[in-house]
Amino acid sequence: MHEKTLIELREDIRSKKISSTELTKFYLDRIKKYDDKLNSFITITEERALERAKIADSEIAKGKVKKLTGIPIAQKDIFCTKGIKTTCGSKMLSNFISPYDATVIEKFNEEGSIMIGKTNMDEFAMGSSNETSYFGNVHNPWNLECVPGGSSGGSAASVAAGLAPCATGTDTGGSIRQPASLTGICGLKPTYGRVSRYGMIAFASSLDQAGIFAKTAEDCALLLSCISGYDSKDSTSSKKDVPDYLEECRNLNLPKKIGVPIEFLKDLDKGVAKVFQEALRELENMNCEIVDISLKSSKLGVSAYQVVAPAECSSNLSRYDGVRFGHRANNIKDISELYKKSRSEGFGNEVKRRILVGTYALSAGYYDAYYLKAQKIRSLISSEFNTAFNNVDLIIGPTAPDVAFKIGEKMNDPIAMYLSDVYTVSTNLAGLPAISIPMGLKNDLPLGLQIIGNHFQESQILSLARQFQEVTDWHKKQPSEIK
Ligand code: GLN
């Protein structure tokens, strides 16, 4: 059953082959059986899930079904969930019970889905391996000695291992696509502004975007339809109409011209290049025209990102002061000691590193040299994408430079860790939508194909992804360590 797609499970529920209660119990049992090995959940919301499943079953009996009625879902612990612990992977919020639901959570509730738990993640979404979580690292279901990627590592691992049929994630520099690539599933980061950020704990507000994980492009399309749309509580959310993504991804013609940035292939690992070339051949067999393009400034993406994201995080994270909510230090003499001690105790090393870098980059003497320069590179990257999209419909490349690496391998080398995002950050800097879908294996570990579209071209991306999945079966491969 855990091998079924979301769309298949939805059919089973609608045709009463299985009840929502049975399905919810099935996934809760799998979590109990396997999550000791993976550590993909921080909180399991069993009681509440079963209550909601019962309600869903009575709705189904009355013939009232919404888009996701009765479907279990795992939520990244970055989304505020009313009455339920919302930790963001940090000691700072380890006891925080949110008084309200994030818009994404609200929308999933409205569509009748059942939250089964909150997933593990890098602290405040800062990381590429899920090793910065206060709640311990997550293991990759393909090889338990390897990382699942990050920051949405818990969500990715739980879907890959069949502990949930789908999950949410957030992507500031690659945190949906890179873990999707490393765990062999699909991960979609929508256009900036497509999905409301309200109630999604902020890391770098001009880059953060909510998105989803599932097994297939069609599943992602269905989920995207549920969470997209304008929200008066997020002024950066778009008023653009929300199409029926599932319908569009099933019916759109195949995008004809696809660009491959030559910069993405330079210095690419040979094993990854081989798998990517095979994916290209597959696309050519599907009658796509593949052309070389150049995104010259993309090589500066990680450097620009590592200035812009920390700068914004240093501002966003100033709200954790030990006064209003979150961790508060004991035995303090005065207010400044309260700030200092609460923040020193509440934040982990990576978060502190980002705050320091960000504060430095924004300080009077260095603003022009770092922050302004990074913003200029950001504009350059955006305009190069614009130029490229005048000539091609979509852009593709590998999602990550390599397969999952060993736990601990990059923890003492932040630069090596940051380079995990070399192919993903540019799209965040430009606000573009992109998906990662499985394209093959290297040393028995999965690799993702990234498909990038122009702003609000999610349907085109999903359509190509769906058609690729019609002629390949990489998305059907199951991880070896969790059966
Ligand atoms: N790995 C990147 C970072 O550490 C991206 C994180 C993200 O997308 N949330 O900043």
| Other CB atoms within 10 Å distance of the CB of residue 227 | 22
Q: Which atom of ligand 1 is nearest to the CA of 309?
A: 10
Residue among 19, 98, 129, 175 flagged as catalytic:
175
| Centroid of ligand 1 to alpha carbon of 67 (angstroms) | 30
Q: Are 23 and 49 in contact (CB under 8 A)?
A: no
Distance, CA 126 to ligand 1 centroid (Å)? 5
Angle between helices 20-38 and 153-160 (to 10 degrees): 120
* Choice from 128, 132, 209, 351 to test ligand 1 binding pocket (greatest atom count within 8 A of CB): 128
3-class secondary-structure state, position 185: coil
Q: Is 174 in the pocket of ligand 1 (CB under 6 A)?
A: yes
Q: Is the CB of 173 under 6 A from ligand 1?
A: yes
Q: Tell me the residue type at 205.
A: S
Of 77, 129, 151, the one to substitute when testing ligand 1's pocket (max ligand atoms within 8 A of C-beta) is 151
What DSSP string runs through 3-29? TS-HHHHHHHHHTTSS-HHHHHHHHHH
Task: Tell me if residue 175 is catalytic.
Answer: yes
What's the N-to-C CA distance of the chain in angstroms?
A: 11
Atom 5 of ligand 1: nearest residue by CA position = 173
Q: Is 39 in the pocket of ligand 1 (CB under 6 A)?
A: no
What are the residue boundaries of the structural domains of the chain, listed by start?
A: 6-254+424-476, 298-378
Mutate to test the pocket of ligand 1, among 121, 168, 172, 316 (most ligand atoms within 8 A of CB): 172
Task: Write down the CATH superfamily of domain 6-254+424-476.
Answer: Amidase signature (AS) domain (3.90.1300.10)
Beta carbon of 172 within 6 Å of any ligand 1 atom = yes
- Find out whether the beta carbon of 309 lies less than 6 Å from any atom of ligand 1: yes
Candidate of 77, 90, 122, 205 to mutate for ligand 1, largest count of ligand atoms within 8 Å of Cβ = 122
Catalytic residue among 19, 20, 76, 118, which? 76
Q: Which long-range contacts (CB under 8 A, 24 or more apart) does 465-468 make?
A: 465/186, 465/217, 465/220, 465/249, 465/435, 465/437, 466/216, 466/217, 466/218, 466/221, 466/249, 466/250, 467/254, 467/286, 468/217, 468/279, 468/282, 468/283, 468/286, 468/437
Ligand 1 in reach of 151 Cβ (< 6 A)? yes
Q: Pairing mode, if any, of strands 434-442 and 445-452? A: antiparallel
Q: Which helix (H) or strand (E) holds 362?
A: helix 349-362
302 CB near ligand 1 (under 6 Å): no
On whether the pTM is more than 0.95, the answer is: yes
- pLDDT of 252 reads 87
Q: 255 and 289 in contact (C-beta within 8 Å)?
A: no
State in Å: Cα 173 to ligand 1 middle. Answer: 5
**DSSP single-letter state for residue 367:** I
Q: Quote the ligand 1 centre to 315 CA distance (angstroms).
A: 17
390 exposed, middle or buried (CB, 10 Å; 0-12, 13-18, 19+)? exposed
Cα–Cα separations (whole angstroms), residue 28 to 137, 156, 206, 479: 21, 17, 36, 19
Atom of ligand 1 nearest to the CA of 420: 1
**What are the structure tokens assigned to 374, written together?**
């990074």
Print burial letters for 42-69: b (CB count within 10 Å at least 16), e (below 16). bbbbeebbbebbeebbebbeeeebebbb
Closest ligand 1 atom number to CA of residue 350: 4
Query: 346 with 91: CB under 8 angstroms?
Result: yes
Alpha helices (H) in 90-206, listed in sequence order: 103-110, 153-160, 177-183
Active site residue 76: yes
Residue 402, pLDDT score: 97
Chunk the chain into consecutive blocks of 10 residues (it has 483) and report each block's average pLDDT, rounded to whole numbers.
96 97 98 98 98 98 96 98 98 97 98 98 98 98 98 98 98 98 98 98 98 98 98 98 97 88 94 98 96 96 97 97 94 96 98 97 93 97 98 98 96 90 97 98 98 98 97 95 85
C-alpha 66 – ligand 1 centre gap (Å): 33
